[in-house]
Structure 1
């Protein structure tokens, strides 16, 4: 299973470790900037790195030939349909909500703002519409009263995401496929960036 990781920062580098721990063969890493933490982590492991020409988009040319699966981890770039099509198993990403709830860049903030008692994370298939692709895997957690978005992310949602990424790689290695369950659009909500007061 040859995997390309598209991501950034702490979560991207932690996801890289989770994939390698499950026996994933990471053949390339794509990052938004040359000073990204994921770039340093990949280079230390001898994994080739591509810095995006445009931090908002990942074209097919930035996905290494021979990639079976693309995994995004803390990437705010749109992976083009042509890039996803280059990998036989397509592409997946981790979103810190129980999709289709809280689609968007501020999912954790909206979980707290809406007073959700239960939060969760979803591995979903990359699609043209943001965070709307079929669900591959999900898990949930309780939200503590008074917990901030950052606290919820660090305590529960980041670790849950790493666990799901590991589980997905294990499944892909064992079965040569990725589970796929369409999202139920009647429950979709948006989680746009929250403006500072």
Structure 2
């Protein structure tokens, strides 16, 4: 399976290392949100080309790990099965950029992550896989992200890609719009954090 990886920072760099180690997977290129970035550095160490959005090659599928950039439909069209992304919430709950911060602000006892297929909406595509975790008392959004949600994203995306590379079909179940929420992005000094 030929893959392109979009994203940035620790999550994307860690995922790249996992993807290049998978059997039947070839990472054709990475497209970091910005440069310099950990993803670009990791790609160069692995010998994987670093490309801009306009130069993304055709592939069997793409993966988005902590990707904050909009990926245009013409780029998504080059990605065979589509783009499998990670969102740090139990979609369709907490769609939007600051899902972890809203989870903490709403005092939710349970958090989670979702591997889903990107579409034209904001975190609205079909769900491929999910996992959950407890939110510890007094935990901040940054602590929850580092302790559980970022590693969960690596695990979920790696497992999904491995399964698809073995020839299994995507699960791609629709999100239940009856329970969907979307929270706006917040500034660093908002929500008491």
TM range (shorter): over 0.9
Partner of 1:122: 114
Partner of 2:2: 2
Instruction: Within 5 Å, give how 1:149-188 maps onto structure 2.
Output: 149-188=141-180
Give, in whole Å, the separation in 1 of the partners of 2:105 and 2:21. Answer: 35
Unaligned runs of 5+ in 1: 53-57
Number of aligned positions between the proteins? 188
Contact 1:118 1:143 in 2 (8 A): yes
Give, in whole Å, the separation in 2 of the partners of 1:167 and 1:32. Answer: 23
* Aligned-residue offset at 1:177: 3.2
Contact 1:134 1:183 in 2 (8 A): yes
1:86 matches 2:78: yes
* Aligned-residue offset at 1:20: 2.0
* Aligned-residue offset at 1:22: 2.5
Partner of 1:146: 138
- Secondary structure of 1:100's counterpart equals coil
Give, in whole Å, the separation in 2 of the partners of 1:167 and 1:134. Answer: 17
- Secondary structure of 1:99's counterpart equals coil
Give, in whole Å, the separation in 2 of the partners of 1:12 and 1:100. Answer: 23
Tell me the C-alpha RMSD between the 2 structures. Answer: 1.3
Contact 2:11 2:151 in 1 (8 A): no
- Secondary structure of 1:79's counterpart equals coil
- Secondary structure of 1:181's counterpart equals coil
Unaligned runs of 5+ in 2: none
Partner of 2:35: 34
* Aligned-residue offset at 1:176: 4.8
Partner of 1:19: 19
Give, in whole Å, the separation in 2 of the partners of 1:189 and 1:129. Answer: 13
- Secondary structure of 2:166's counterpart equals helix
- Secondary structure of 1:175's counterpart equals coil
Contact 1:89 1:177 in 2 (8 A): no
TM-score by length of 2: 0.93
Structure 1 residues 30-73: Cα deviation after superposition (integer angstroms, max 9, x where no partner): 012231111010011110101x3xxxxx4xx33213x1111001
